[in-house]
Amino acid sequence: MAPNSSQSEIPKDWPQGTVYLRAPYYSKKLADEALKALVFLKTDLPTPEEARQTNPPYANVNITKIVNPIHPAKGQYGLFASQHLPPGSFLLPYLGYVHDKNDLDPTSDYDLSLDRDLGVGVDASRIGNEARFINDYRRVADAPNAEFRDMFVDIGNGKVEKRMGVFVLGAGKSGKRSKGISRGSEILVSYGKGFWAERSRQPQ
Ligand SMILES: C[S@@+](CC[C@H](N)C(=O)[O-])C[C@H]1O[C@@H](n2cnc3c(N)ncnc32)[C@H](O)[C@@H]1O
């Protein structure tokens, strides 16, 4: 066995005390109905969706401490491209604790909606993967370069699992994003105005 082989499966700069996930962790309190809507037979996949394979840890991204003095998240971490990322390409899934409205941490800054109809979210505050380090574009860049989108992962035994995926934004009608994300650039999404509005309501 290679020295530290289990360590090598954890991304560089992964924070101590946070569990690195390779697959979602489902809350024991999640209703059967929700679970059935998230994990189902590949033959029931809606067209034209495809069942994707994932390969953690993700070599296409780097977790990096932000040292730029004018970055609003200075001192925290961000997720950066380790190679050129073409427009529209799939990067990685957003993994964490999959829970419903009765089992959520209202203080979490890492909770992403997975299925609005079911009221299910993915909270990566304590357990997650590289995607938990993706920052919002506001005061960092003019626009986001990536987005969260539904995706389906082939989990074997003829089954697929609905997850939230991170994708590079498409080139756009005018082709203004045709270069994709260049190596070394920060991957930035829009958290939505609701995220910041909620934060400003919370006592500091
Ligand atoms: C999902 S985390 C992103 C990763 C985080 N930077 C870290 O190191 O764990 C969300 C938090 O990152 C910070 N953040 C993300 N985007 C930001 C931005 N544009 N301006 C200021 N803070 C930001 C905020 O503290 C926010 O609550």
Ligand 1 centroid–CA 141 distance in Å is 14
Q: Which atom of ligand 1 is nearest to the CA of 134?
A: 3
C-beta atoms surrounding 192 within 10 Å: 12
User: Does 6 score more than 90 pLDDT?
Assistant: no
Ligand 1 centroid–CA 201 distance in Å is 17
Mean pLDDT computed over every residue of the chain: 93
Strand pairing of 120-123 and 97-99? antiparallel
Q: 192 CB under 6 A from ligand 1?
A: no
Q: 94 CB under 6 A from ligand 1?
A: no
Going by C-alpha positions, the residue among 188, 182, 189, 166 that lies closest to residue 90 is 166
Q: Stretch 72-77: mean pLDDT, rounded?
A: 98
Are the CB atoms for 81 and 187 separated by under 8 Å? yes
Q: Which atom of ligand 1 is nearest to the CA of 137?
A: 19
User: Does 74 score more than 60 pLDDT?
Assistant: yes
Residue whose entry in the numeric block shows the structure tokens 């035994």: 157
Domain coordinates of the chain in residue numbers?
7-201
- Verdict on whether the full-model pTM lies above 0.90: yes
Cα 113 to Cα 117: distance, rounded to the nearest angstrom: 10
Q: 176 CB under 6 A from ligand 1?
A: no
Look at the alpha carbons of 188, 147, 166, 104 in this order and tell me if their dihedral is positive or negative. Answer: positive
Ligand 1 centroid–CA 37 distance in Å is 30
Q: Residues of the chain with pLDDT > 90: what percent?
A: 86
Residue of the nearest CA to atom 10 in ligand 1? Answer: 109
Ligand 1 centroid–CA 9 distance in Å is 25
Q: Which atom of ligand 1 is nearest to the CA of 199?
A: 27
Q: Stretch 22-36: mean pLDDT, rounded?
A: 97
Q: How far is CA 114 from the centre of its chain?
A: 10
3-state SS string for the chain = CCCCCCHHHCCCCCCCCCEECCCCEECCCCCHHHHHHHEEEHHHCCCCCCEECCCCCCCCEEEEECCCCCCCCCCCEEEEECCCECCCCEEEEECCEEECCCCCCCCCCCEEEEECCCCEEEECCCEECHHHHCEECCCCCCCCCEEEEEEEEEEECCEEEEEEEEEECCCCCCCCCCCCECCCCECEECCCHHHHHHHHHCCC
Cis check: omega of the bond before 48, within 30 degrees of 0: yes
Tens of pLDDT, residue by residue over 115-162, are 999 999 999 999 999 999 999 999 999 999 999 999 999 999 999 999
Q: Assign domain 7-201 to its CATH superfamily.
A: SET domain (2.170.270.10)
